[in-house]
Structure 1
Amino acid sequence: MRKTYITTSSLIDEFKQTLLQGNSYVMGTSVRNFDFTFNEAILDQNALEVTCFNMLQTLQFDKIAAVLKFPKTIQSLIALIKELDCYGISLSALPQKTPLQQEIALALESIRPLIPAPQLKRSVQYQAVAAGLSYHHTFFLKRHDVPFIIQHTSKPSSIRFKVALNIRSEIEAVAQDLLTHKITDAVIAVPNLTARKPLIESVFARYDLNLVLQDRTTTMVKSQYLSIINVAQKRSISAIITLIEANPLGLRYIDDLVYYIRHFEIDNTTILEPFYYAHEIQGYEEIYRVRERIADDVAVLQAFLENLLSLSYQDVIAFAYDTLYENSTNDLSKIKAFLESNYHLYAESTHEFFLAHFDTIGTDIKSNGTIRVVDIKNLPLTPPDHLYVLDLSAKNFPAIPSRTGILDESYVGAIAGFPSLDVRTQHDLDNQARIFNHATHLTLSYNAATYEGKSHEVSYPVAQFCDENNISLSSWNLIQVHDREISTRHLDPKIASQVYLRDGAIVGSISSFQMYLQDPYNFFIERALGLREPEKFTFDARIIGTINHALMEATHNITNQDPWTNIAAVFPKDSNRIAMIKRRNDALMELNIPLILESIANTDFQVHALEERFSTHDLFEAVHLRGIIDRIDMNDSHLLVVDYKSSALSLSQPAVKAGEQLQLLTYAMIAERRYNKPVLGVFYFGFRNRNINTNYAKYSFAQGIVVDDSDYEVLWMKDKKYSGWMFDRPGDHFDTDTFYGGLRMTKAGMSLWKREFDMNKVRPLLTSIYKDLSTNILNGILDKDAIIINSDPTLDLRKEDEDK
């Protein structure tokens, strides 16, 4: 007589080893799960689900027609029939009081002939292992007098109750505990193990405990395969981008290709057209180089898409595998086995079943090491010496599965003879309570909060068990690096001189020296090593700034070319986003340009230079400055320096003395030296319109409702004024105080609200700051906090009263 042992799928291998060790595994003996033992006629679950689906689609339903299209609904109908068989309940016991219940009964009765009831064979002797079996499986076995093997239990000789800050700290504490106590044989049980595997692997790898819990190769090829299927089904640009990123085609420049598609807003209707969108335009060479780099990849992608999109559904399934086979060196055996067994099942109408079944291709790796990680519901058969049970919050333990959908608890509760929820729940609780008597040394642990700080409550059964055994809660003694040696980045001065100096000077723009103050290490990376993080060419604030500066050149008749012409050659022509930005920017500049022209017309200055390039090596010691001054106005006696900005800025004395605002004042020194004229003032002009906060009305007890009669145009003009410093009295150079900040029109003529600034104080200050900057750079200082700028914080850069 044959003998069959019945257990859960997770315990089959371990139980076989137990039988072999006890010399109980003889010819005719098998270890199987419940379905394999009693439902051999329906082992092909995938085929059963598709067959049931196809049958139900031939019937007319009103209430449940929509949900019957989902694989989970079909799976739940099949599972309910199998469960009823275990309880010995026929379909005549189904409730049929409501239209919904009547349609559910019709669906179950329709697929009933496809699902034979479980049968015991007289020629087989059965024994069962109760651990982990569901209630209905246990009920069936007891109903047929199948004997149960006495389960191994082990009352813990030591119990610990631990808490950690969060789940990562908890896992790390276990790794440290294993190493500290030199434990080499242990079981770690975690709720919802699938979601925790990446975290557990990464934490243990830090301690050279390399637990391999996932078959990452299979995970990767599954995602590549599905990316092909999704393109054929969805035919959307997002699906194509996902395909490129998964890279089943072996493309070389996938990042550039995705960037190019997104940059030119290529969609599924234009993806097969030539990619000749970027042209070789001066100033925008990078996007053209991207086009050249991806040319071969584009040809491969387009040829692939032309083939793929012309195929039938089943041909797509085969074509996707062939594509992987040709382009991948990874193991495709699991996908091949799945397709060989199930290929004939799928058509366009059963695509959702294909996805659901494909997802079941296993990516788990069974741990053969001495440290095993298991799900809390799948404890090993034999109690281990050391058992760590983690993440025991009230949410995770006990975890009782709930019925949802059309076959929820209210429905099964109406089935005559169906076991009550209390009975079934108690069975699940007893199964999960195995953690309390299944190890010699037991550690129960939970984490107090999420990463965001949301608190966790400890599981009540765990807290109660520890209280009954007089086990107090204690924190994990997690060893962390608190006294980390503070390392200061520093470059040897000799090396600093070699990498920074060019012909005896540090070459750079004014903004680069300001960058050194903010991030000296990044200054070293960019200026010394010549490395820079690549910036994707996109339509952002930099492009808008370039356009607006070009518009100002065109306004002053420096050039007649429309700056949007070049933009059209390197950006999508029909982009709604860019068209919207252009409309808004055009409206903005239609306000700014007349205001700027009027501001110039109300002075005796004329625009002398726009986009004035400079390269000076002798203004400051060991510093060679290069850059562009946006605008220089000139009259017979003075200069005005203007810097255009996207947003309004203002000069402040503390920022200047700290070396944080060098640009505008350095421009002034360069301009006065170049044109041999004193600078009357330096100003910023912001293109962007800031919001003006006003109230239509306000209320006071004394006056009641007071309507605000402010002139909004006056408020706007006040906000749009040039912002900067004056170095001399305005005299009769300005006709109005409307445009330049700091001016004040009085009866005696134009004056200033405050004392003017003193260029004779600014020059030595900037000379000192640039000298300090070059000294710090050449001394190899790469730590922001180590930079020393020797400026007097009490220095007032305005002229003294007696100088007026």
Structure 2
Amino acid sequence: MASLHDLRMGDIIVAPSYLHPFLREQLIEENQGCIGIHLHSFYSLLTSWQKEEPQGEIAIISQYRKLIKEMLPSLSIYKETASSLPFLQECYAFIEDMKTWDISIDQLPRETASQKELYAILFPLYPITTSADIQKKTLEKRIHHDFSNIYLYDASFSLKEQKLVDFFMEHGAKLIPMQQVCQKKQFYHAVNKRQEIEGCAQYILQHDISAQDIQITLADTTYAPIVKQIFERYKIPHTFLSNSHTSIITKRFHALFQYYLRPDEKHFLNCLDCGCFVVEGIESLRSYLEIFPGNITTPFDHLQTIDYQGHVLSPLDLEKLLHLQQKAEEVRQQVTEKLHPFLIAASIEEVFLSICELVKETLSTQHTELQVFLKVQNFLNDVFPYLENMEDFTFYLPYLDKISYDGSIKEMHGAIVTSLTQNCPKKQYQFILGATQNNYPAFSFKKGIFDESYYQFLPYPSMEDRYAHYLKQLEKQLWNAPVLIVSYPLGTYEGKSLEAALEIEQMLGKPESYPLHTSYVPMKTSLEISPQIAKQLFVKDDVLKGSISSLERYIHCPFSYFLRYGLGLREPMQYTFSDSYAGTLSHYVLETLTKTMGKEYAKATSDKIEQLLHKEIEEIKEIFPSSASSYSLLEKRLFTNLTQTLQRLEDMEEHSHLKPWKQEEPFTYILPVKEDVKLQLYGIIDRIDADGNLASILDYKSSIKTLSEPKVFAALQLQLLTYSIVVKKMHKEVLGAYYVSLKNENIPNIAGQLKRRPVSYTEIGKEEKEALLKKAHRRNGWTMSYQVDILDDDASHIAGVRQNKDGIIKAGKTYSLDQIEKYFTTIYQKIADRILSADISLTPDEDACTFCKYYEICRFHGLYTKKEPFIEPDDALYRKEEEIEDATME
């Protein structure tokens, strides 16, 4: 055995390229320099000896393809796949194995029909010169050379490399062994791979281990981004030996080639997503094409000729759409100008040049992008001679996708992160992460067409021999450092259980739980403005204006309110026909019917409903012509839903003595909050029913909604009761305020009821099911008068209302509107005071982030905040029995 001390000027070290930086460092330490000592990998050393340049894989595969095409008519079993790239790549790899292990074509099996056909395919391919042929010739010419000046560093060798090691040592080369110093072994498990990496990082810090003394070996390559994230959080310096990653440049080339081959909308959108065009405002073109799919070569102008008369889209929505179209048209013109040479290219060379020019414009100043760009250019040069037309290029596209950035490591610092086939010398601690049965030892079996069952007919190393060699190489990893720490996760994030590798368990025994210390500190983002700034942002002319929903938004998340109403960040328009638009359309139909038909609105004919819906849908179709078919389906769905809703409302109207009075009623409600500031609330009440001085409020909702006391006094449900206060100021006695669901709720389809005593079974009939359906669609809200029978004279249409044995109809709770108004005055004043005191904290509750458009801006990842009540109501909230009796006497 040799060592680095034995090296002299002119000697050669052969080691994997990733080890060269470590070896240079060792040479400097142990030999006081490395002048005249050459570092090579097997590949670079053999290349320096070769007299001829080997053909690249693309050239060889292209020759294979040409020969296979000629024999396709004679094939039967592999006729459909023989000319495909994956098949030819398998043939190439197999022929390389044959030539490396001196297997002649006559030694291939020919017993079955499949084997005979594979022999017929491989026979004309085998004579084509490959790198294995050139390597064999190179070694034959040096068979009488003395290799005593060559030192082989004993890293992990593949079986092919081991064959070269044996050849070199037979001719005098010497082996420099890696250290075999493992003295202490530890074995841990963790809940999942994230906690496993956390445990590793904490172990390093708790034991005060220098990062320079550590090697982190990843049995699972998916660990890499998490290791990077966690080690950066713990401030542990580290370097990844594999510095290869994909690049957006190859994605741009791929997208443009695909668009040229199939110039449709899908492939053009892929080009936009990859950033293939350097044009200001390109995102407007992307947004426009999502809303109005169309041909990029046709001008965008259809909105300019439309006179929209519908009631779903607001004038502001139409203005936004028109502005978007104008901006998208400007960008479209610039993009089509850039695409013109590309689209009219008459030859393959012109296509290549025009695509390269388009991608070249997108290059940044980063060296990595330029390196990948040059690699793609080389690939295009390599593939060009084998293309008869551009359709042929689809065969070679997978090669383009594999082009990546392979950066050499210029500076190594901290812990070295490697894979199972990479060993680093001179490290004190070796951590192996992810040692599960799936990932360790990760021996690669022969698969595909030439699988293990095929190889067993050949004079090729058996699977047992290959597996034994593979384990022997892994042992170098295990004994590489004085301290070995192996770990694995007990399960995946989805909860699927994982088991430790059998080889590791046999060597290390039973694992322990990774000592992991967790402490959660809620993330607090410091967001502060002064009260003076708050007043400038939110108050105008001594008035703090806002809708009730905006104040509810403030309670849900003060920061979201600040972004929307303080900074004025506009949320993106919902350009598609969303559920909110469907709700708007349902509101419009009900508003129109109640205005024109009064209390008889629920008896509107199907033709009337269909006419109203059809007119609105046709207006929408003109705006969004590409979605016309989906709007037709939506029209049918809304018609069915509204028809069923009106049937329920007809029954409600028959048992209510009030009639529709106002629809979509706007209001303004002003409250003093400070000496110099007033709070001005505004909104629209969906519907007010009345009879004389009696009134009730109905608020249409797209689904069942209830009015909760905790939410009301936490200021999360202010609208319905504020409407009640506003109607009270219209000199009306408010009997109640309720939500009306416009959704057809699902009910359980119960077959029957079973009783124990006496044992009996009663089948549920049609009447019982109709009663369940009626109960599911009752109005929900608060009742504020004893005269609830005026609203529901059979106690079956309002939740919480009952009829006793004497026939008297009562609400379970009767609320005092006067007391509610006092509470709400205090609540609104407290909300306004918080806004004016500049409280814009990032403290959302559980519902705040679900539909928030600003979630990506704030990136909240902390604990949600439970919203506490502004007021703890007392018994004055409810009307007492004596009050009701006094009112009855009056």
Structures share fold, TM-score greater than 0.5: yes
Contact 1:163 1:445 in 2 (8 A): yes
Q: 1:47 maps to what in 2? A: 59
Deviation at 1:607, TM superposition (A): 2.6
Are 2:631 and 1:578 equivalent residues in the alignment? yes
Are 2:741 and 1:686 equivalent residues in the alignment? yes
Q: 1:421 to 1:544 in 2, by over 3 A?
A: same
Q: 2:312 maps to what in 1? A: none
Match of 1:789 among 852, 870, 878: 870
Q: Distance in 2 between matches of 1:58 and 1:5?
A: 47
Contact 1:219 1:363 in 2 (8 A): yes
Q: 1:69 to 1:432 in 2, by over 3 A?
A: farther
Match of 1:547 among 576, 585, 588: 585
Q: Distance in 1 between matches of 2:26 and 2:123?
A: 42
Deviation at 1:795, TM superposition (A): 4.9
Match of 1:722 among 779, 791, 810: 779
Q: 1:81 to 1:461 in 2, by over 3 A?
A: same
Structure 1 counterpart of 2:660, which letter?
V
Match of 1:400 among 428, 431, 443: 443
Q: Distance in 1 between matches of 2:726 and 2:187?
A: 69
CA offset digits 1:333-355 (Å, max 9, x no partner): 22223323333234556545522
Moved more, 323-332 or 141-150: 141-150
Are 2:179 and 1:138 equivalent residues in the alignment? no
Contact 1:167 1:391 in 2 (8 A): yes
Deviation at 1:58, TM superposition (A): 1.5
Are 2:729 and 1:648 equivalent residues in the alignment? no
Q: 2:356 maps to what in 1? A: 321
- What does 1:259-658 align with in structure 2 at a 5 Å threshold? 259-264=287-292, 266=293, 270-278=295-303, 282-284=315-317, 285-303=319-337, 308-309=342-343, 311=345, 315-329=350-364, 330-331=369-370, 332-346=373-387, 348=390, 350-351=392-393, 353-371=395-413, 372-380=416-424, 382-384=425-427, 387-415=430-458, 417-439=459-481, 442-466=484-508, 482=520, 496-531=534-569, 533-557=571-595, 562-593=615-646, 595-596=648-649, 599-600=652-653, 603-618=656-671, 622-658=678-714
Q: Distance in 2 between matches of 1:40 and 1:177?
A: 53
Q: What secondary structure is seen at the aligned counterpart in 1 of 2:639?
A: helix
Q: What secondary structure is seen at the aligned counterpart in 1 of 2:380?
A: helix
Contact 2:689 2:697 in 1 (8 A): yes
Q: 1:398 to 1:446 in 2, by over 3 A?
A: same
Structure 2 counterpart of 1:636, which letter?
G
Moved more, 653-662 or 420-429: 653-662
Q: 1:276 to 1:464 in 2, by over 3 A?
A: same
Q: 1:100 to 1:16 in 2, by over 3 A?
A: farther
CA offset digits 1:504-557 (Å, max 9, x no partner): 443212222333333233233333343355454332221112111222232234
Identity of aligned residues (%): 21
Q: 1:413 to 1:518 in 2, by over 3 A?
A: same
Contact 2:789 2:795 in 1 (8 A): no
Structure 1 counterpart of 2:111, which letter?
K
Q: 1:475 to 1:8 in 2, by over 3 A?
A: same
Contact 2:583 2:702 in 1 (8 A): yes
Q: What secondary structure is seen at the aligned counterpart in 2 of 1:692?
A: coil
Q: What secondary structure is seen at the aligned counterpart in 1 of 2:298?
A: coil
Q: 1:760 maps to what in 2? A: 818
Q: 2:76 maps to what in 1? A: 62
CA offset digits 1:276-320 (Å, max 9, x no partner): 354686141323322233223222344455654555666434432
Q: What secondary structure is seen at the aligned counterpart in 2 of 1:639?
A: strand
Q: 1:774 to 1:683 in 2, by over 3 A?
A: same
Moved more, 130-139 or 218-227: 130-139
Q: Distance in 2 between matches of 1:499 and 1:507?
A: 11
Q: Distance in 1 between matches of 2:513 and 2:48?
A: 45
Q: What secondary structure is seen at the aligned counterpart in 2 of 1:89?
A: coil
Q: What secondary structure is seen at the aligned counterpart in 2 of 1:272?
A: coil
Unmatched 5+ stretches in structure 1: none
Structure 2 counterpart of 1:686, which letter?
S
Q: 1:184 to 1:526 in 2, by over 3 A?
A: same
Q: What secondary structure is seen at the aligned counterpart in 2 of 1:522?
A: helix
Are 2:695 and 1:695 equivalent residues in the alignment? no
Q: What secondary structure is seen at the aligned counterpart in 2 of 1:374?
A: strand
Q: What secondary structure is seen at the aligned counterpart in 2 of 1:288?
A: helix
Contact 2:11 2:38 in 1 (8 A): no
Q: What secondary structure is seen at the aligned counterpart in 1 of 2:59?
A: helix
- What does 1:112-131 align with in structure 2 at a 5 Å threshold? 112-115=126-129, 117=133, 118-119=136-137, 120-123=139-142, 125=145, 129=152, 131=155
Structure 1 counterpart of 2:420, which letter?
I
CA offset digits 1:432-471 (Å, max 9, x no partner): 221133345554444444344544433343444446xxxx
Q: Distance in 2 between matches of 1:71 and 1:39?
A: 30
Q: 1:181 maps to what in 2? A: 209
Deviation at 1:137, TM superposition (A): 4.9
Q: 2:97 maps to what in 1? A: 83
CA offset digits 1:31-78 (Å, max 9, x no partner): 636688679563412211121122112113221223324323222212
What is the RMSD computed on CA atoms of the aligned residues? 4.1
Q: 1:727 to 1:306 in 2, by over 3 A?
A: farther
Q: Distance in 1 between matches of 2:788 and 2:13?
A: 102
Deviation at 1:16, TM superposition (A): 8.8
> TM-score scaled by structure 2?
0.78
Unmatched 5+ stretches in structure 2: 1-9, 309-314, 598-611, 844-864, 886-890
Contact 1:614 1:628 in 2 (8 A): yes
Contact 1:517 1:787 in 2 (8 A): no
Deviation at 1:216, TM superposition (A): 8.6
Q: Distance in 2 between matches of 1:637 and 1:26?
A: 102
Q: 1:219 to 1:655 in 2, by over 3 A?
A: closer
Deviation at 1:421, TM superposition (A): 1.1
Contact 2:297 2:336 in 1 (8 A): yes
Deviation at 1:494, TM superposition (A): 5.5
Q: 1:248 maps to what in 2? A: 276
Q: Distance in 2 between matches of 1:787 and 1:504?
A: 29
Structure 1 counterpart of 2:82, which letter?
L
Q: 1:237 to 1:379 in 2, by over 3 A?
A: farther
- What does 1:184-199 align with in structure 2 at a 5 Å threshold? 184=212, 186-191=214-219, 193=221, 195-199=222-226
Q: 2:720 maps to what in 1? A: 664
Number of residues of Structure 1 aligned to a counterpart in Structure 2: 792
Contact 2:151 2:176 in 1 (8 A): no
Q: 1:597 to 1:254 in 2, by over 3 A?
A: farther
Q: What secondary structure is seen at the aligned counterpart in 2 of 1:624?
A: strand
Q: Distance in 2 between matches of 1:715 and 1:29?
A: 79
Contact 2:277 2:358 in 1 (8 A): yes
Moved more, 605-614 or 722-731: 722-731
Q: Distance in 1 between matches of 2:399 and 2:485?
A: 38
Deviation at 1:720, TM superposition (A): 3.4
- What does 1:731-742 align with in structure 2 at a 5 Å threshold? none
Contact 2:669 2:681 in 1 (8 A): yes
Q: 1:696 to 1:439 in 2, by over 3 A?
A: closer
Q: Distance in 2 between matches of 1:16 and 1:91?
A: 44
Q: 1:109 to 1:11 in 2, by over 3 A?
A: farther
